[in-house]
Amino acid sequence: MEAAQVASPALTERRPPLLRTAAVGFALLFVGIGLLALSWNARENFLSDYLSFWAAGHFVLGGKAPLAYDLWQHRALQESLVGPLDGNMPFPYPPPFLFAVTPFSLAPYVPAFALWVAVTAILYWRVAKSYAPTPFVMSQPAVLMTYLLGQSSFVVAAILLAGLRRLSERPFVGGLILGLMVIKPQLALLLPVAVLAGRRWAAIPGALLSAGVALLAAWVVFGTATYRGFLQLMPVYTGWLRGNGWPWDEFATPYAFVRYFGGSLAAGMAVQLAFAAFAVGVTALAWAQDWREKVPVLAAATLLVSPYLLTYDSLLLLVPAAWWIGQGRRTSLILIVWLGCWLPIGHFLAMYSGPNTIPLAVLVALGGLLHDRWMRVAD
């Protein structure tokens, strides 16, 4: 069964009414909180993750694109807007992402933030509503966090979901779209596994073409020094990840889960590698055998591979939830996965104190999908 069946209109009519009511409520609540937060902050510059994007675009517009990756110049520009920062907020994205953020920096910071969130939210909704009805699309916990922080998760999820939608029936087009994941490669690590195992050969030239064009265009427009700055910034991030550069509860990975409880670097990486190997194996099996669940398996397993993922990346767990919503079943698992994604955001809102539970939510999602497959084979 192909990916398009994830969102079959006939199936989505069987969604539980109570679940839909809850989804509508949370979707409206999230929009309300986002608008309220924006109205509170509209009178002055405020700190958000989007500040990093705006500053990077500002440097590009000033003809100084390499400074987007200069820790001290980048920080100085941010502090000129919001005052002293407690820590660093660099721009860790590959140079092609500058094409996405720079146009918004034509506006002052606060209106640019509002415009970025609105445009990217619409982009995400336009793609994701083919997987699940709008209330479920917009009630995912990571939606609220993206509203508040102005992060990249709407853009990244839209690219990944749009590419996966076309990968089975139009693999070259799917590859063209998925090649744009070059802007966040740690979420694209399982795509070659799925393409090769599923024998979607036409996706390979499509992905190479779009990724190559994006990388080359960024080099032509932004220059060699910009790439050099990006490559020099990466070891800094590696150092922070190896040490204690961020609170571990902000990371949505098995590695960070181990480190949160005091585990060593070696123990954390060992657990991360074990989960990554499991993710590779289950993805390869699902795509090689053309499981009905192959797309939701890939979306969930993607969150187990890289040690560097954050809470807002959990937006991908919409896909397994959409699979069950479309079949009108597994309501309890949908709620457990939703709660596992909500708790870390509750921490961000000072409502929860504990480890990041997204890896547990991923395991619940994959366990449910594997059980679905096993029950169908047993029948």
pLDDT digits (tens, 9 = 90+) for 126-147: 999 999 999 999 999 999 999 9
Q: Chain centroid to CA 367: how far?
A: 21
Over pLDDT 90: what percentage of the chain? 81
Most confident of the ranges 3-7, 41-45, 219-223: 219-223
253 token code pair:
């990975």
Can you give the pLDDT at residue 158?
98
- List phi, psi (to 5°) of 242: -75, -30
- Cβ neighbours of residue 7 under 8 Å, at least 6 residues apart? 129, 130, 131, 132, 322, 326
Q: Residue range 71-89: average pLDDT?
A: 91
State the pLDDT confidence band at 16, using cuts at 50, 70 and 90. Answer: low
Residue 283: the pLDDT is 98
Q: Which residue type does 5 have?
A: Q
Phi, psi of 349, rounded to the nearest 5 degrees:
-95, 15
Q: Quick check: 115 and 154 in contact, CB under 8 A?
A: no
The pLDDT value recorded for residue 79 is 94
Instruction: Name the strand (E) or helix (H) holding 339.
Output: helix 331-348
The fraction of the chain above a pLDDT of 70, given in percent, is 96
Return the pLDDT at 13: 43
What's the alpha-carbon Rg for the chain, to the nearest Å? 20
Mean pLDDT of 246-256: 91
Q: How many CB atoms lie within 10 A of CB 84?
A: 7
Higher pLDDT, 12 or 137: 137
Instruction: Give the model's pLDDT for residue 15.
Output: 55
With beta carbons less than 8 A apart as the criterion, state whether 348 and 311 touch: yes
pLDDT score recorded for residue 7: 42
With vertex at residue 242, the alpha carbon angle to CA 239 and CA 243, rounded to the nearest 5 degrees, is 85
The pLDDT value recorded for residue 375 is 85
Predicted confidence band of residue 6 (pLDDT cuts 50, 70, 90): very low
By CB atoms closer than 10 A (0-12, 13-18, 19+), residue 41 is: middle
Cα–Cα nearest to 195, from 219, 179, 210, 213 = 179
Whose CA is closest to 84, among 125, 136, 45, 39? Answer: 45
CA distances from 119 to 17, 125, 258 (A): 30, 10, 36
Lowest-pLDDT range, 37-46, 47-56, 162-171? Answer: 37-46
> Do 348 and 356 contact (CB within 8 A), yes or no?
no
Place of tokens 């590419």: 163
Phi and psi for 310 in degrees, rounded to 5? -115, 175
Between 306 and 43, where is the model more confident? Answer: 306
Top pLDDT among 135 and 349 is at 135
Decide if pLDDT at 160 tops 60. Answer: yes
For the segment 170-195, the average pLDDT, to the nearest whole number, is: 97
- Asked if 20 contacts 138 with a C-beta cutoff of 8 angstroms, the reply is no
Distance of CA 135 to the CA centre of its chain: 19
Residue 168 has pLDDT above 90, yes or no: no
Q: Is the pLDDT of residue 96 over 50?
A: yes
Contacts of 318 (CB under 8 A, 6+ apart): 128, 131, 132, 136, 137, 140, 157, 161, 299
* Average pLDDT of span 85-114: 94
Cα 197 from Cα 168, distance rounded (Å)? 12
When the pLDDT of each residue in the chain is averaged and rounded to a whole number, the result is: 92
- Check: CB of residue 51 under 8 Å from CB of residue 109: yes
pLDDT band at 8; cut points 50, 70, 90: very low
pLDDT of residue 41: 81
- Lowest-pLDDT range of 3-7, 65-69, 375-379: 3-7
Q: What is the DSSP letter of 251?
A: B
